[in-house]
């Protein structure tokens, strides 16, 4: 059983096997952050927002530590990141079972650190999720399995702020060629904002979700 804390928006319409949308917040945030999107998203979705396991105090949480030192500058704790990926995979299985969701309609939406892990999870656990929405994140090549399965049928919605000062847009721009090379269906877009989600960006991924329902 997963020990991740979470909050839920049940489908607004009664659905026997609802499609599932899991939300993964960014570094230093919590499960309430992305949940503000929930009311605007399709009524038949079961929406579950998970809280990261590492407490930073004052209601802030992280999926893995970001450390600083004189030698390496800023670097990610990859061991913690992989542990979180495994926890999220178990969490998805638990939620699917508990709420009897549609096994072929699982969406994983992550912002920033949550987006980085969403990408990685889709490679470590092929086809556990069918749709990934990666907002303001990038594919961390240090967080990939040795071999990426050619059987993956997951599709990807990727977006980034063109003036992001937290995660450079150049990192995000590598996602499309990476996914294209693997033959994975994906779309990539940029918006004239910093490290956040512009209203146009929200309506864009909302439409993408609706198309994939």
First vs last Cα of the chain: how many Å apart? Answer: 28
For CA atoms 102, 121, 34, 196, give the dihedral sign.
negative
Q: Among 71-75, 131-135, 163-167, which is the least confidently predicted range? A: 71-75
**Average pLDDT of the residues in 109-132:** 98
Q: What is the pLDDT of residues 148-165, one digit of tens each?
A: 999 999 999 999 999 999
CA triple 62-68-72, angle to 5 deg: 125
User: How many distinct structural domains can be found in the chain?
Assistant: 1
SS3 153: coil
Token duo for residue 78: 């990859």
Could you tell me the pLDDT band of residue 14, with boundaries at 50, 70 and 90? Answer: confident
SS3 152: coil
Residue 10: give its domain's CATH number.
3.40.50.1820
Instruction: Report if residue 174 sits inside a domain.
Output: yes
Is 1 domain-assigned?
no
Q: Distance between CA 195 and CA 165 in Å, rounded?
A: 7
For residue range 186-209, list pLDDT tens digits in order.
999 999 999 999 999 999 999 999
Q: Which helix (H) or strand (E) holds 155?
A: strand 155-161
User: Residue 139 has which token pair?
Assistant: 């594919």
Residue 101: inside a domain: yes
* Position 194 in a domain: yes
The tokens for 158 are: 């990727």
Task: Check pLDDT > 90 for residue 17.
Answer: yes
Cα–Cα distance between 121 and 86 in angstroms, integer?
A: 8
pLDDT of 76? 84
In three-state secondary structure terms, 116 is: helix
Task: Find the domain containing 178 and state its range.
Answer: 6-212
């Amino acid at each position: 059983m997963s020990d991740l804390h979470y909050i839920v928006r049940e489908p607004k319409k009664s659905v026997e096997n609802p499609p599932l949308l899991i939300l993964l917040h960014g570094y230093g945030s919590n499960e309430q952050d992305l949940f503000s999107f929930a009311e605007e998203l399709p009524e038949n979705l079961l929406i579950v927002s998970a809280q990261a396991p590492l407490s930073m105090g004052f209601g802030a949480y992280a999926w893995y530590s970001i450390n600083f030192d004189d030698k390496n500058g800023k670097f990610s704790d990859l061991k913690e990141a992989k542990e979180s990926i495994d926890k999220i995979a178990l969490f998805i299985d638990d939620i699917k079972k508990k709420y009897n969701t549609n096994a072929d309609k699982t969406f994983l939406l992550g912002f920033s650190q949550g987006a980085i892990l969403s990408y990685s999870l889709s490679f470590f656990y092929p086809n556990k999720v069918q749709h990934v929405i990666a907002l303001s994140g990038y594919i961390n090549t240090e967080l990939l399995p040795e071999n990426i399965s050619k059987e993956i049928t997951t599709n990807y919605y990727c977006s980034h702020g063109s003036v992001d000062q937290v995660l450079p847009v150049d990192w995000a721009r590598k996602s499309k060629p990476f996914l294209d090379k693997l033959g994975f269906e994906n779309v990539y877009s940029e918006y004239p904002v910093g490290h956040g989600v512009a209203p146009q960006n929200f309506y864009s991924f909302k439409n993408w979700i609706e198309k994939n329902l």
